[in-house]
Amino acid sequence: MSEHQFNILVTEPIPEKVIQYLGEFGNVTVGEVGTYQNEQALIDDIGSYHALLCMLSNPISKNVLQAGKKLQIVANFAVGYNNIDVAAAQELSIKVANTPDVLTEACGDFAMGLLMATTRHFYQAEKYLREGNFKGWEPMGFLGPELRGRSLGIVGMGRIGQAFAHRARAFGMNIFYHNRRQVSADIEEALQATYFDDLNTMAAQADVLSLNCPLTPETHHLVDSNLLNMMPNHAVLINISRGPVVDEAALAEALQNGTIYAAGLDVFEEEPKVHPKLLEAPNCTILPHIASATFETRNAIGMLAAKAIVQVLQGEKEQNIPNLVSL
Ligand code: DGY
């Protein structure tokens, strides 16, 4: 017999502390890795659950939400929530939560690391060493550009964009940014940041272009062959936002042709697949969507999502649940 009134589905294993916390309020089922990356699996199972704690890899479509006859809340284990049909959830009076703020610093650190790894060829150099090719210090081995004095053009100057910009300032970089709205004068001053209303103009001038914007219909394939052609040949592209912001086929071609110098990617258009041409492209660092992967941050993400679930199931007023999202 069920111990609690509510059933909660957590689609993948997450920190135990979060499961224990949810277990005080509901009967928790934890899915196996990968099971719910499939829409039909969600449709088949969701009917008996009152709350869903899902991953960014789970397609929470209108069909899934409609099948969730008892569903009161969908809490995403991520800040980006492009995997959830928020409009459909609103129509069905199902609340949606995400996890802002708690992953900002981990992602800022990671973006800086990815930029370093990409420009200084960490992966290729380590591979070279492991394969037994290191015969002694080489004055011309694995050269890459310095970051000091270079410009970082940030697309999407939200929390994570700003966290990256702060770190890049410490490395002596100059900050450009493009955003839907100009940020406050205080933020601009702290970062010594220059606003570009026009993305193309910024892309043509930035040594590094970093994508830190959400995936929306407007940002889908924002980086396409046109934009890549505007970037300088020595430019580096960094993407820790969402894969479909970049046209991967066009990027692979740009790397092959030397249209741009390098790319550091943590996200892909059709995760977990990676475009085969990107796998072969020169100067391309590719990582399996790990920007927020610190012990501290993944615990905090889980607790924030779980708290929203508990608040909703306990009938808390919407205005008291800070991480609910709406259109
Ligand atoms: C998010 O939370 O949206 C990130 O992609 C996790 O790394």
Q: How far is the CA of 49 from the centre of ligand 1 (A)?
A: 24
Do 12 and 30 meet the contact criterion of CB atoms below 8 Å apart?
yes
304 by Cβ neighbours in 10 Å (0-12 / 13-18 / 19+) ranks as buried
Question: Measured between alpha carbons, how far is 148 from 88 in angstroms, rounded to an integer?
Answer: 47
- Label residue 290 left, alpha or beta by phi (over 0 means left) and psi (-120 to 50 means alpha): alpha
Task: Report which ligand 1 atom has the smallest distance to the Cα of 240.
Answer: 5
Task: Report which ligand 1 atom has the smallest distance to the Cα of 81.
Answer: 3
Q: What is the structure's pLDDT at 122?
A: 98
Which residue owns the Cα nearest ligand 1 atom 1? 78
Of 234, 239, 207, which is closest to residue 223 (Cα–Cα)? 239
Q: Which residue has the tokens 């099971």?
A: 35
Q: What is the structure's pLDDT at 3?
A: 86
Do 219 and 191 meet the contact criterion of CB atoms below 8 Å apart?
no
Of 73, 15, 18, 20, which is closest to residue 304 (Cα–Cα)? 18
Q: How far is the CA of 59 from the centre of ligand 1 (A)?
A: 15
Q: How far is the CA of 134 from the centre of ligand 1 (A)?
A: 36
292 ligand 1 Cβ < 6 A = yes
- List the structure tokens of 64: 């899934």
Q: What is the structure's pLDDT at 248?
A: 98
Please state, as a whole number, how many other Cβ atoms lie within 10 Å of the Cβ of residue 121: 19
49 by Cβ neighbours in 10 Å (0-12 / 13-18 / 19+) ranks as buried
Number of H helices, E strands in the chain: 13, 13
Residues annotated catalytic, as ranges? 242, 271, 289
Q: What is the structure's pLDDT at 33?
A: 96
Do 49 and 9 meet the contact criterion of CB atoms below 8 Å apart?
yes
CA atoms within 13 A on the CB side of 200: 6
Give this prediction's pTM.
0.97
Task: Report which ligand 1 atom has the smallest distance to the Cα of 242.
Answer: 5
Q: Which residue stretches of the chain have pLDDT < 70?
A: 1
Domains in the chain (CATH in brackets) are 7-100+295-320 (3.40.50.720), 104-286 (3.40.50.720)
